[in-house]
């Protein structure tokens, strides 16, 4: 039996999403014939050719002039330049034609559409010349890749405005799947006349099925934005190859479809599995092979003979983390991914720049207390580790396969004890890699440990500072303080390790004053070289988090949900403070965008909220708070 794992649109374009690599590696370790394909990358590349550009134009010219966006008008006016430049630009971003950078940098080679307006400045004259600052540090290759990325972003806008209004890099048709109480919006979209985007995906799906001739297709859906395309793929397979079985799984499914009762989704797939896929998949393969009854499926939804959704969960132990095998990227086009440079910030760029081997150091989270996190779900709650020796064995095997030594450890929070052992083993065995990952900024990460991690190849760390308020950090059970985060991040930065801070606003009972003060903390962390990058996320209450499970402990009242038969995750709530966090978010994001590019530190934090129609108090934080914390 051959198993085909597919990455549906849309996920990252610079590196494969790792779920299929994990599953394919695991299945092969059990001597099961397993292959994989990345249809997310294939779909984008199918449009970014001279022929694809011509197809986009054919769609665009059918839009009445009065309804055309600025992006579409610019594209039509400069169609010839786009069609002639697209192939060399893609080759350049794939690393196959580095000398093109000289022509791109001359600013006459690429048509420069609306996205290029961002080159003028970050925030008018207040923030200075962003381009001069960034490219003075980054160099000509990066300058050209940034121009080429803006060029592709312009084309992305044209695809959205002229071909399919659901299209967006990384996210695609997200609104159709995220926390949708019923399957109806997805079903309506799937039954509608296919767009040109859909037709491309249909063609790619048929080609992939003919190439591999699988018995079982696994669709991994990590985000809501990948669900629509996954079901479009399934729709093609069901119509043209009805004998093939289809199973659906992945992060989105594990999070939002746990209470599924809408049987219509089984018009497209045969099985839906929850949580870590290894054990359910082994049970499923035995079932399809006639060696296991339906009743003995593990964590699997089916549609039964009564046309109802049935959840089957035969109790079997999960496959231990040390026995899941080594991820493999065999079959994925590693030389075709696009190294994009959306953000000029040296740390922030890691998410879209370069092809990183994705690897997990441990399963789950060793802390699992944060009140905003889905700590009740398996991917966080079940914590398992592997030995440092085994991890380095896996690293060496992946390097031998891919020829690339960059690793992104994708743990929820990599444990310091394991990272220390891993670093020591890498150094002992003289395995030279570059790696980065996500951690908790806890005090165990001393300057000495930071130095050891740097010696082993660590180049960057990300972690949650979240609300940058000690009261709220305690409320969310984060287990860190602002002062502790400052010391830990400074320790990393002093060793040359870049640091990214995940930031949050709109947490229950967060006041305007706390928001302003949090921004002052963040500003000072940038100024004192503690962090180099950050991003403000709007807090969302989810049904699987402690806040969603016990809202009264956080001073809020949940808004009753409608009857739900499909996706369930986000839940609205009433906060007695009544703060308009969406408005404040505009100022927060503007400020941190500038801080990440080294500008705007001379401005008072209150000024970033100017013109937003809200009264903003002055910060109560002394302007030398972080400095005193570090050097007192």
**Long-range contacts: 302-305, Cβ < 8 Å, 24+?**
302/266, 302/270, 302/271, 302/272, 303/263, 303/266
DSSP 291-330: SS-GGG-SSEEEE-TTS-EEEE----PPPPGGGS-----T
- The DSSP code for 267 is G
Extents of the domains making up the chain: 1-329, 356-631
pLDDT score recorded for residue 136: 47
Span 502-560, pLDDT tens digits: 999 999 999 999 999 999 999 999 999 999 999 999 999 999 999 999 999 999 999 99
The b-or-e profile of 608-629 (16+ CB within 10 A means b, else e) is bbeeeeeebeebebeeebbeeb
pLDDT score recorded for residue 179: 85
DSSP 607-631: GGGTTSSS--PPP-S-TTHHHHHHH
- What are the residues facing 271 on neighbouring strands? 247
pLDDT score recorded for residue 127: 42
Span 42-80, pLDDT tens digits: 999 999 999 999 999 999 999 999 999 999 999 999 999
- What are the residues facing 157 on neighbouring strands? none
Report phi then psi at 363, rounded to 5: -90, 130
pLDDT score recorded for residue 126: 43
Q: Is the peptide bond preceding residue 68 cis, with omega within 30 degrees of 0? A: no
Strands, E assignment, 351-453:
357-359, 362-363, 384-385, 406-409, 434-439
- What are the residues facing 558 on neighbouring strands? 573
What is the C-alpha to C-alpha distance for residues 294 and 267, in angstroms, rounded to an integer? 18
Q: What number does CATH give the domain 356-631?
A: 3.80.30
Record the tokens describing residue 454, joined without a space: 């740097």
What is the C-alpha to C-alpha distance for residues 12 and 226, in angstroms, rounded to an integer? 11
What's the pTM?
Answer: 0.94
pLDDT score recorded for residue 138: 57
Tell me the mean pLDDT per 10 residues along the chain, length 632: 96 93 98 97 97 98 96 98 98 96 96 90 44 56 94 96 89 80 96 97 98 98 94 98 98 96 98 97 98 98 98 97 97 96 86 94 95 93 96 98 97 96 98 98 97 98 95 95 97 98 97 97 98 96 96 96 95 95 96 92 95 93 96 84
CB 38 within 8 A of CB 15: no
Smallest CA-to-CA distance from 187 within 279, 298, 284, 264 is with 264
pLDDT score recorded for residue 344: 79
pLDDT score recorded for residue 118: 81
CB 326 within 8 A of CB 398: yes
pLDDT score recorded for residue 455: 98
What is the C-alpha to C-alpha distance for residues 16 and 401, in angstroms, rounded to an integer? 15
């Amino acid at each position: 039996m051959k198993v085909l794992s597919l990455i549906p649109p849309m996920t990252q374009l610079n590196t494969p999403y790792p779920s299929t690599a994990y599953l394919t590696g695991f299945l092969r370790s059990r001597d099961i014939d397993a292959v994989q394909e990345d249809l997310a990358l294939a779909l984008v590349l199918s449009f970014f050719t001279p022929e694809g550009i011509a197809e986009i134009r054919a769609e665009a010219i059918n839009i009445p002039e009065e309804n055309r966006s600025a992006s579409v008008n610019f594209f039509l006016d400069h169609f010839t330049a786009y069609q002639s430049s697209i192939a060399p630009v893609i080759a350049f971003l794939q690393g196959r034609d580095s000398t093109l950078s000289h022509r791109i940098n001359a600013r006459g080679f690429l048509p420069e559409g609306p996205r290029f307006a961002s080159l003028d400045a970050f925030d008018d004259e207040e923030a200075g010349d962003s381009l001069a600052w960034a490219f003075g540090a980054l160099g000509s290759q990066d300058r050209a890749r940034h121009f080429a990325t803006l060029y592709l972003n312009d084309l992305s806008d044209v695809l959205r405005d002229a071909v399919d209004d659901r299209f967006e890099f990384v996210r695609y048709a997200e609104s159709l799947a995220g926390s949708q109480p019923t399957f109806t919006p997805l079903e309506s979209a799937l039954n509608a006349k296919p767009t040109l985007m859909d037709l491309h995906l249909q063609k790619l799906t048929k080609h992939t099925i003919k190439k591999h001739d699988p018995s079982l297709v696994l669709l991994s859906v990590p985000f809501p934005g990948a669900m629509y395309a996954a079901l479009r793929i399934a729709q093609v397979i069901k119509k043209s190859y009805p004998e093939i079985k289809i199973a659906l799984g992945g992060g989105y499914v594990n999070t939002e479809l746990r209470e599924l009762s809408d049987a219509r989704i089984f018009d497209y797939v045969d099985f839906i599995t929850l949580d870590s896929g290894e054990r359910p998949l082994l049970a499923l393969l035995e079932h399809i092979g006639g060696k296991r009854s339906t009743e003995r499926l593990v964590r699997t939804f089916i549609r039964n003979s009564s046309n109802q959704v049935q959840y089957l969960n035969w109790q079997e132990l999960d496959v231990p983390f040390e026995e899941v095998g080594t991820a493999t990227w065999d079959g994925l086009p590693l030389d075709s991914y696009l190294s994009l440079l959306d953000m000029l910030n040296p740390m922030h760029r890691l998410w879209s720049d370069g092809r990183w081997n994705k690897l997990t150091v441990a399963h789950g989270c060793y802390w699992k207390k944060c009140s905003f996190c889905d700590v009740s779900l398996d991917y966080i709650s079940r914590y398992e580790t592997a030995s440092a020796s085994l991890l380095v064995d896996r690293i060496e095997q992946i390097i031998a396969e891919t020829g690339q030594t960059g690793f992104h450890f994708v743990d929820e929070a990599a444990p310091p004890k394991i990272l220390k052992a891993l670093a020591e083993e890498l150094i002992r065995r003289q395995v030279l890699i570059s790696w980065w990952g996500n951690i908790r900024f806890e005090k165990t990460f001393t300057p000495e440990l930071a130095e050891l991690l740097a010696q082993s190849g660590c180049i960057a760390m990300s972690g949650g500072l979240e609300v940058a308020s000690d009261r709220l950090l305690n409320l969310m059970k984060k287990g860190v303080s602002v002062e502790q985060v400052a010391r830990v991040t400074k320790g990393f930065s002093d060793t040359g390790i870049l640091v990214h801070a995940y930031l949050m606003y709109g947490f229950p009972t967060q006041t305007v004053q706390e928001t302003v003060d949090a921004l002052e903390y963040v500003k000072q962390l940038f100024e004192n070289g503690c962090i180099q990058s950050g991003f403000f996320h709007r807090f969302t209450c989810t049904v699987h988090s402690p806040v969603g499970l016990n809202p009264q402990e956080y001073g809020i009242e949940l808004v009753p949900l409608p009857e739900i038969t499909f996706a369930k995750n986000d839940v609205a709530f009433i906060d007695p403070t009544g703060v308009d966090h969406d408005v404040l978010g505009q100022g927060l994001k503007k400020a941190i965008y500038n801080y990440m590019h080294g500008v705007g530190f001379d401005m008072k934090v209150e000024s970033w909220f100017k013109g937003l129609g809200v009264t903003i108090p002055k910060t109560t934080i002394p302007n030398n708070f972080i400095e005193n914390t570090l050097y007192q």
